[in-house]
């Protein structure tokens, strides 16, 4: 922890640490959901979709890494056990029960939408007092927006293929 860096944030630092830990827990769940989905996936275009899911998994893990760094900078502790991930996360873990490509895309689109809302809220909460966390949240948010669009466009391609296949 850096003293002046923590003081800069002021009275709200514990609340910001709480939000950072929620995001951190959520990123681990997102990582695992993508990582496992990429392995289980079945159906049309599965190789293209699996490659995107696997890439997103690595990007979610990178988000967890950035968040852990910021939590420690502010004098906090990243949640210590996987048992806490589901309890802390603002976004639900959706087990890839159904390996069908469209089902996996829909689950992960839902997760990205939740992440986008959460990071927008984190930006709103840090705008005045914590420009460092604000900037971090902005960078992650931009990538979550990209993730949503990547998955939606794959979803659209699949729909087109099914509707217009062979014509
Ligand atoms: Fe993420
Ligand atoms: Fe994402
Ligand atoms: Mg992508």
| Total domains present in the chain | 1
- What distance in angstroms lies between residue 95's CA and the mean position of ligand 2's atoms? 16
For the stretch 107-144, pLDDT in tens is 999 999 999 999 999 999 999 999 999 999 999 999 99
- Please tell me the predicted confidence (pLDDT) of residue 164: 83
- Please tell me the predicted confidence (pLDDT) of residue 1: 85
Decide: 11 and 65 in contact? Cβ < 8 Å. Answer: no
- What distance in angstroms lies between residue 3's CA and the mean position of ligand 2's atoms? 32
Examine residue 102 and state whether it is found in any structural domain, yes or no.
yes
Examine residue 81 and state whether it is found in any structural domain, yes or no.
yes
Examine residue 82 and state whether it is found in any structural domain, yes or no.
yes
Examine residue 152 and state whether it is found in any structural domain, yes or no.
yes
Alpha carbon distance 70, 62 (integer Å): 13
Residues 6 or more apart whose CB falls under 8 angstroms from that of 65 comprise none
* String of DSSP letters for 113-167: HHHHHHHHHHHHHHTTT-HHHHHHHHHHHHHHHHHHHHHHHHHHHHHHHHHHTT-
* CATH code of the domain containing 102: 1.20.1260.10
- What distance in angstroms lies between residue 115's CA and the mean position of ligand 2's atoms? 7
Examine residue 112 and state whether it is found in any structural domain, yes or no.
no
- What distance in angstroms lies between residue 147's CA and the mean position of ligand 2's atoms? 5
Which of these, 56, 2, 66, lies nearest to 29 by C-alpha position?
A: 56
Where does the pLDDT of residue 166 fall: very low under 50, low under 70, confident under 90, or very high at 90 and above?
Answer: low
| Reported pTM | 0.95
Looking at all shown ligands, the one closest to residue 55's CA atom is 3
Examine residue 125 and state whether it is found in any structural domain, yes or no.
yes
The sign of the CA dihedral 84, 85, 86, 91 is positive
- What distance in angstroms lies between residue 35's CA and the mean position of ligand 1's atoms? 13
Alpha carbon distance 5, 102 (integer Å): 45
Q: Using DSSP, state whether 90 is helix, strand or coil.
A: coil
- Please tell me the predicted confidence (pLDDT) of residue 80: 98
For the stretch 28-55, pLDDT in tens is 999 999 999 999 999 999 999 999 999 9
């Amino acid at each position: 922890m850096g003293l002046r860096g923590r003081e800069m944030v002021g009275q709200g630092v514990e609340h910001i640490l709480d939000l950072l830990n929620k995001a951190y827990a959520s990123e681990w769940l997102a990582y695992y959901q993508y990582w496992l989905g990429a392995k289980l996936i079945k159906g049309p275009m599965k190789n293209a979709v699996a490659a995107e899911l696997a890439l997103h998994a690595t990007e979610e893990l990178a988000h967890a890494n950035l968040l852990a760094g910021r939590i420690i900078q502010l004098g906090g502790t990243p949640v210590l056990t996987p048992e806490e991930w589901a309890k802390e996360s603002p976004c639900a873990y959706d087990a890839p029960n159904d390996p069908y490509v469209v089902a996996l895309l829909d689950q992960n689109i839902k997760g990205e939408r939740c992440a986008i809302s959460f990071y927008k809220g984190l930006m709103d909460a840090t705008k005045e007092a914590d420009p460092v966390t604000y900037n971090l949240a902005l960078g992650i948010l931009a990538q979550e927006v990209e993730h949503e669009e990547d998955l939606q466009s794959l979803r659209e391609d699949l729909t087109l293929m099914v509707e217009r296949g062979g014509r």
